[in-house]
Structure 1
Amino acid sequence: MTNFLHKLTMLDDEINHSTVHSQVEEIKQIDHQVAKGEPLIEAPAKLGLFPDQFEDILEEIGNNQKRKLTDINNLFNNFRQYLSLKYGVWSVPNLKTAHLIKNRLHIDTALEIMAGNAYWSKALENVGVQTISTDSLEWAKTSSTGAEPFHPVINLEATEAIKHYSDVDLIICSWSPNFGKNDIAAIDTWRKCSNAKHFIFIGEEDGATNSPEFWQNNWFKQTAALKAINDSFQSFDFIDERIFEIDNEF
């Protein structure tokens, strides 16, 4: 992954097609913003070529370019992995979504648990939400990407953080692991020990994030506010990343 952008640029030059080039430029812009430690202004455009797009482009550039087109499409589809390996982030926040979280949920303060490098905390702070970032930091012991968080991170396990910072308006958790039951424990602690009005998770239903038990529960809110938030946060790749709110009265 260290040569990701170099390979992308090289293949883009060789393929020389406007649709491919626009996606390469989108990736470079995202990478530039993440490298600066700043959230995106709005959600990025969809990356990766659908089968019909792939065939249409191949017809234009010639079948002899199929290997290169396949290679660059694989890079498009692995961009999230590149971001995780280089910057330690799996989810890419944007300020439009952060504004909507603040305004539609009516929050002034937030706690991010299992925050990793706290990229979502940075986005919320940028739109005026006073945010506390917490993480057990176990992952950072074996990953160099944990050395430079986007927002200061306090070393606290999720349930302890919820108990300690019980007076925030919002608890947010992005890409909770799809193993263990830390997400279940966090929700249970929130209900028993926190005054937070809202608890949102960012991830993929029955996929890359959260425990199986988490998705089996019927505790997800469906509100106009949440729909507006999700409309601003469309996933940029094949992972169906969305924002989920937990009902405190389940």
Structure 2
Amino acid sequence: MTTINPKTFIARLSACRDYFAKIYSVSDLIDQVLFADLAISQKRLPSKLDKLELTDKMLQQIKDLIAEQITSGMSQKEIDAKVHPAQELDWLLTNFRQYLIERYGMYAYISKDWAADLLKYLDGRPALELMAGKGYLTYAVRNLDENYPIIATDNYDWSSRQEELKPVTKVVRMDALAAIDYYSKKGQAIIMSWPPQNSISDWLIVNYLRQQHFYEKGGELILIGEKNGVTGSSQFWKKAETKEIYFLNHNWSNFDIVKDQVFTVS
């Protein structure tokens, strides 16, 4: 099992939910994922996710359930069939983020809990989102406050890869530096989530903001990403000054092995 099929992913997860229905801790964890998917599919803000992993206690309960179903005289093929649902569930939980990327184009998981925190943190400051992708972050802010002064921009370089996925809110087609020039305001917050690894655009943005005296004018750059991990260029993490924003990390969903966090950058 190595390939994500967005069309069958949820059906497979639902089958696991039925199979492990009597193990409430496991079925509750699966329900979190199913409810999150349902919310996103209906353009509602999903809830914060717990860590999507099977604990030692869950694994023991699963082993006990499987053991009850294995009888003497079973062939190895029959035994493998009993074990398969546990392997399937572990794989599906591990790959939920990849499903979100391929099904919805959602790289950073934006929950309603975290969006409410972001709105409080911004505290009325005008905001500009760079590299907005499908616009999930800006959509979340607008969902909570439709009149909030936030603008989403993106150069749409993803459109050739995911043509069928349309933005969930208005995203202005514009290069990041051009967007800074056009929409720059004193005391503004600029938000950048999950910048790509294969580009130094994140470092170019920081350097440009320094040249424009953005920080001296009361501006703040907010970044969502995994430090020295799957997001951002090595130049950025080496040369930019980053500091965790504890208020915005409280409800941030670290649900898999990716340790993405929220930083203020200078």
What is the aligned partner in structure 1 of residue 181 from structure 2?
163
Residue 3 in 1 paired to residue 8 in 2? Answer: yes
Aligned with residue 62 of structure 2, among 42, 58, 61: 58
Does the 8 A contact of 1:124 with 1:130 survive in 2? no
Aligned with residue 139 of structure 2, among 122, 136, 154: 122
Aligned partner of residue 141 in structure 1, secondary structure: coil
Does the 8 A contact of 1:107 with 1:170 survive in 2? no
Aligned with residue 161 of structure 2, among 122, 136, 142: 142
TM-score by length of 1: 0.88
Unmatched tracts of structure 2, length 5 or more: 68-78
Which residue identity is paired with 1:174?
Answer: S
Which residue identity is paired with 1:91?
Answer: A
Larger Rg: 2
Does the 8 A contact of 2:152 with 2:172 survive in 1? yes
Aligned partner of residue 221 in structure 1, secondary structure: strand
TM-score by length of 2: 0.83
Residue 45 in 1 paired to residue 63 in 2? Answer: no
The offset of 1:218, in angstroms, is 5.5
Residue 21 in 1 paired to residue 27 in 2? Answer: yes
Unmatched tracts of structure 1, length 5 or more: none
User: CA 1:145 to 1:239, structure 2 compared with 1: closer, same or farther past 3 Å?
Assistant: farther
Give the RMSD, CA atoms, in angstroms: 1.9
Aligned partner of residue 261 in structure 2, secondary structure: strand
What is the aligned partner in structure 1 of residue 118 from structure 2?
101
Does the 8 A contact of 1:163 with 1:189 survive in 2? no
Which residue identity is paired with 1:74?
Answer: W
What is the aligned partner in structure 2 of residue 207 from structure 1?
229
Percent of residue pairs bearing the same amino acid type: 25
Which residue identity is paired with 1:46?
Answer: K
Partners of 1:160 and 1:103 in 2: how far apart? 28
Aligned partner of residue 133 in structure 1, secondary structure: strand
The offset of 1:215, in angstroms, is 1.6
Partners of 2:57 and 2:157 in 1: how far apart? 42
Instruction: Note the alpha carbon deviations across 1:179-202, whole angstroms, 9 max, x for none.
Output: 120100111122233456211111
The offset of 1:102, in angstroms, is 3.0
Which residue identity is paired with 1:165?
Answer: Y
User: CA 1:155 to 1:172, structure 2 compared with 1: closer, same or farther past 3 Å?
Assistant: same
Aligned length: 241
Partners of 2:257 and 2:124 in 1: how far apart? 31
The offset of 1:216, in angstroms, is 1.8
Partners of 2:111 and 2:13 in 1: how far apart? 24
Does the 8 A contact of 2:26 with 2:58 survive in 1? no
Partners of 2:120 and 2:260 in 1: how far apart? 21
What is the aligned partner in structure 1 of residue 108 from structure 2?
91
Partners of 1:145 and 1:126 in 2: how far apart? 23
Does the 8 A contact of 1:85 with 1:145 survive in 2? no
The offset of 1:54, in angstroms, is 5.0
**Where do 1:69-84 residues align within 5 Å?**
69-84=86-101
Partners of 1:144 and 1:39 in 2: how far apart? 23
What is the aligned partner in structure 1 of residue 258 from structure 2?
239
Partners of 1:141 and 1:218 in 2: how far apart? 31
The offset of 1:137, in angstroms, is 0.4
